[in-house]
């Protein structure tokens, strides 16, 4: 499969932040809507005066749409009020992605309206703003340029149809999306997959939404002599290779049969096939957003974003592995977003395995055993400090956490009555006398259960060995 192709990716990913041009939360609702409104949309001419071919295609259908709203949507989603200034948090996340993809940030940029009249935008357009360009990433096949990075509003989502009218839900409309477009530098299906994996790694390192429907990946692909075809709807990176390979075959057949070759948008199906969706939209669908000022991304904003730039997850994995954590432990830290706390605790006691225990394992054990409770990051930090200052032993951590879950304050919980070592020695010697001839392990079991965290394992072990000798 060394067919020469020309391909580029376009990736849309929802950011984990409130909406892009209003303060509504980015939450999807599955309960009954609070209200419904009905609207009819029609095609408008773009900046160049021409009605875009894709827009016309939808407009010819001349349809009415129903929109469902909630208390978590406002007049801006309904296009009844002007947009607020761009969400600064979303902008920062966008800058993180752009910097990690080695892009140049655009210092002054115009927010644009992109005509959309399939009904998924109440206004008939989607706001989009180019924030960065000219980046690049490396694959094992060579360099792939990142052409543009934009912030966009997500569209309303279609939830059904009533009397031939499409029903859209406004909850998704306006959720910040980052759009990443590569140059058509990709030369094979395998390389397309590598690029998608790399960009996916960058995205997951930043504050983005997780789960099905939060990322959309499109591929533009053509072989020599065939116009560009856009394939939408890749749910899984695994689908890249089979879908692209099948599309190459389809294009070859088109050329051989001297078909009327046209540029089109196709949908990726789960079986690796594709189907026609619509014509490719032209450039005439963009015009400036007059309700908003130019977006200035100052040096200061970029410097701030550099300061808070997250590390790539692949780098973090390598680092944690070096520190002695295994794959499973690394996976759990990443999955539960515990990295920040982990790094913080390492600053107190630089022992990754012990820190992993007091951050993940012991709290989990205690909570499961008690059937309730939680142990906050502050408490865990306090416990690490208490260990460092010898206020408690390492072996006491579980006991302290248990007391806290049972309702004791942190200060009370760490006031462990330390039995003096002479007393412990006397007790241990009593145990040895009562049950002679047991193994060290068996004695340790008896001792630890008797003192329940009031003595550390290493202390008890030292005393025991001395006595047995
Ligand atoms: Zn809103």
> What confidence score (pLDDT) does residue 1 get?
47
**Is residue 306, in this structure, part of any structural domain at all?**
no
Question: How far apart are the CA of 207 and the centre of ligand 1, in A?
Answer: 21
Q: What is the mean pLDDT of residues 59-85?
A: 89
Which is higher by pLDDT, 395 or 385? Answer: 385
**Is residue 243, in this structure, part of any structural domain at all?**
yes
Per cent of the chain over pLDDT 70 is 93
> What confidence score (pLDDT) does residue 72 get?
96
> What confidence score (pLDDT) does residue 277 get?
85
Question: How far apart are the CA of 94 and the centre of ligand 1, in A?
Answer: 20
Q: Between 421-434 and 457-468, two packed helices, what is the crossing angle to 10 degrees?
A: 60
Residue 466: pLDDT over 90:
no
Question: How far apart are the CA of 108 and the centre of ligand 1, in A?
Answer: 25
Confidence of residue 284 (pLDDT cuts 50, 70, 90): low
Residue 14: pLDDT over 90:
yes
Question: How far apart are the CA of 29 and the centre of ligand 1, in A?
Answer: 14
Average of per-residue pLDDT values in the chain: 89
Per cent of the chain over pLDDT 90 is 64
**Is residue 298, in this structure, part of any structural domain at all?**
no
Range of weakest confidence among 237-251, 315-329, 341-355, 410-424: 410-424
Question: How far apart are the CA of 175 and the centre of ligand 1, in A?
Answer: 9
Question: How far apart are the CA of 19 and the centre of ligand 1, in A?
Answer: 7
Surrounding ion ligand 1 within 5 Å at CB are 22, 24, 74, 76-77
Question: How far apart are the CA of 93 and the centre of ligand 1, in A?
Answer: 20
Question: How far apart are the CA of 393 and the centre of ligand 1, in A?
Answer: 52
Give yes or no: residues 75 and 204 share one domain: yes
Question: How far apart are the CA of 122 and the centre of ligand 1, in A?
Answer: 12
Give yes or no: residues 403 and 439 share one domain: no
Give yes or no: residues 113 and 49 share one domain: yes
Residue 193: pLDDT over 80:
yes
Q: What is the mean pLDDT of residues 318-323?
A: 92
Question: How far apart are the CA of 443 and the centre of ligand 1, in A?
Answer: 66
Q: 3-state secondary structure string, the chain?
A: CCCCCEEEEEEEEEECCCCCCCCCCCCCCCCCCCEEEEEECCCCCCCCCCCCHHHHHHHCCCCEEEEEECCCCCCCCCCCCCCCCCCHHHHHHHHHHHHHCCCEECCEECCEEEECCCCCCCCCEEEEEEEEEEEEEEECCEEEEEEEEEEEECCCEEEEEECCEEEEECCCCCCEEEEEEECCCECCHHHHHHHHHHHHHHHHHCCECCCCCCEEEEEEEECCCCCCEEEEEECCHHHHHHHHHHHHHHHHHHHHCCCCCCCEEEEECCCCCEEEEEECCCHHHEEECCCCCCEECCHHHHHHHHHCCCCCHHHHHHHHHHCCCCHHHHHHHHHCCCHHHHHHHHHHCCCHHHHHHHHHHHHHHHHHHHCCCCCCHHHHHHHHHHHHCCCCCHHHHHHHHHHHHCCCCHHHHHCCCCCCHHHHHHHHHHHHHHCCCCCHHHHHHHHHHHHCCCCCHHHHHHHHHHHHC
Range of weakest confidence among 74-83, 145-154, 455-464: 455-464
How do 264-268 and 229-234 pair as beta strands? Answer: parallel
Residue 232: pLDDT over 60:
yes
Question: How far apart are the CA of 88 and the centre of ligand 1, in A?
Answer: 15
Which is higher by pLDDT, 336 or 129? Answer: 129
Question: How far apart are the CA of 34 and the centre of ligand 1, in A?
Answer: 14
Give yes or no: residues 86 and 235 share one domain: yes
Beta carbons of 27 and 72 less than 8 angstroms apart = yes
Residue 402: pLDDT over 80:
yes
Number of residues that this document lists for the chain: 469
Give yes or no: residues 120 and 187 share one domain: yes
Work out the burial of residue 189: count CB atoms within 10 Å of its CB; fewer than 13 is exposed, 13-18 middle, 19 or more buried: buried
Question: How far apart are the CA of 85 and the centre of ligand 1, in A?
Answer: 12
Count up the domains in the chain and report the number.
3
Question: How far apart are the CA of 130 and the centre of ligand 1, in A?
Answer: 22
Looking at 414, 429, 455, which one is the last position of a domain?
414
> What confidence score (pLDDT) does residue 449 get?
84
Which residue range forms the structural domain that includes residue 388? 311-414
- R_g (Cα) of the chain, nearest Å: 30
Question: How far apart are the CA of 125 and the centre of ligand 1, in A?
Answer: 16
**Is residue 300, in this structure, part of any structural domain at all?**
no
Give yes or no: residues 208 and 276 share one domain: yes
Confidence of residue 213 (pLDDT cuts 50, 70, 90): confident
Question: How far apart are the CA of 138 and the centre of ligand 1, in A?
Answer: 39
Residue 264: pLDDT over 80:
yes
**Is residue 294, in this structure, part of any structural domain at all?**
no
Give yes or no: residues 107 and 217 share one domain: yes
> What confidence score (pLDDT) does residue 53 get?
61
> What confidence score (pLDDT) does residue 382 get?
94
Question: How far apart are the CA of 70 and the centre of ligand 1, in A?
Answer: 10
Q: Which of 84-93, 115-124, 403-412, 426-435 holds the top average pLDDT?
A: 84-93
> What confidence score (pLDDT) does residue 313 get?
86
Q: Which of 53-62, 218-227, 425-434 holds the top average pLDDT?
A: 218-227
Question: How far apart are the CA of 73 and the centre of ligand 1, in A?
Answer: 5
Confidence of residue 49 (pLDDT cuts 50, 70, 90): low
> What confidence score (pLDDT) does residue 192 get?
95
| Closest residue by Cα to residue 79 from 150, 196, 174 | 174
Question: How far apart are the CA of 300 and the centre of ligand 1, in A?
Answer: 28
**Is residue 383, in this structure, part of any structural domain at all?**
yes
Q: What is the mean pLDDT of residues 396-424?
A: 84
Which is higher by pLDDT, 278 or 304? Answer: 304
Give yes or no: residues 211 and 228 share one domain: yes
Q: State the Cα torsion 324-330-332-335 to the nearest 10°.
A: 160
Question: How far apart are the CA of 171 and the centre of ligand 1, in A?
Answer: 9
Question: How far apart are the CA of 293 and the centre of ligand 1, in A?
Answer: 19
Residue 60: pLDDT over 60:
no
Question: How far apart are the CA of 134 and the centre of ligand 1, in A?
Answer: 33
């Amino acid at each position: 499969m060394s067919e020469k192709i020309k391909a580029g990716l376009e990736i849309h990913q929802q950011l984990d932040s409130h909406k892009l041009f209003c303060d509504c939360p980015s939450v999807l609702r599955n309960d009954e809507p609070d209200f419904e409104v009905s609207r009819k949309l029609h095609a408008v001419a773009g900046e160049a005066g021409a009605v875009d071919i894709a827009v016309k295609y939808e407009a010819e259908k001349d349809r009415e749409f129903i929109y469902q709203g909630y208390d978590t949507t406002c007049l801006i989603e309904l296009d009844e009020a002007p947009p607020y200034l761009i969400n600064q948090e979303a902008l920062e996340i966008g800058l993180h992605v752009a910097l990690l993809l080695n892009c140049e940030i655009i210092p002054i940029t115009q927010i644009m309206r992109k005509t959309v009249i399939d009904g998924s935008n109440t206004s008939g357009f989607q706001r989009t703003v180019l924030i960065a360009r000219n980046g690049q990433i490396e694959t094992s096949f060579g360099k792939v340029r990142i052409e543009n990075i934009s912030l966009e509003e997500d569209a309303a989502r279609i939830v059904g149809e009533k009397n031939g009218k499409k029903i859209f839900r406004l909850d998704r409309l306006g959720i910040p999306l980052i759009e990443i477009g590569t140059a058509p530098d990709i030369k094979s299906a395998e390389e397309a997959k590598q690029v998608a994996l790399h960009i996916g790694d960058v995205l997951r390192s930043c504050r983005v939404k997780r789960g099905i429907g939060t990322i959309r990946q499109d591929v533009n692909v053509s072989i020599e002599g065939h116009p560009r075809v856009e394939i939408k709807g890749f749910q899984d990176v695994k689908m890249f290779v089979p879908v692209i390979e099948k599309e190459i075959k389809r294009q070859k057949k088109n050329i051989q049969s001297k078909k009327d070759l046209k540029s089109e948008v196709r949908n990726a199906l789960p079986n690796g096939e594709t189907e026609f969706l619509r014509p490719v939209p032209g450039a005439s669908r963009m015009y400036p957003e007059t309700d908003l000022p130019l977006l200035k991304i100052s040096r200061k904003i970029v410097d701030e974003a550099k300061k808070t730039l997250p590390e790539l997850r692949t780098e973090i994995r390598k680092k944690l592995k070096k520190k002695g954590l295994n794959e499973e432990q690394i996976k759990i830290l990443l999955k539960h977003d515990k990295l920040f706390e982990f790094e913080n605790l390492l600053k107190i006691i630089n022992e990754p395995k012990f820190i992993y225990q007091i951050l993940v394992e012991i709290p989990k054990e205690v909570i499961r055993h008690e059937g309730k409770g939680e142990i906050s990051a502050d408490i865990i930090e306090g416990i690490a400090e208490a260990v460092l200052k010898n206020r408690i032993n390492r072996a006491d951590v579980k006991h302290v956490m248990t007391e806290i879950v049972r309702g004791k304050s942190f200060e009370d919980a760490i006031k462990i009555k330390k039995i003096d070592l002479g007393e412990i020695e006397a007790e241990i010697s009593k145990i040895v006398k009562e049950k002679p001839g047991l193994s060290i392990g068996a004695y340790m079991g008896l001792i630890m259960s008797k003192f329940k965290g009031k003595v550390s394992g290493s202390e008890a072990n030292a005393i025991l060995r001395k006595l047995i000798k």
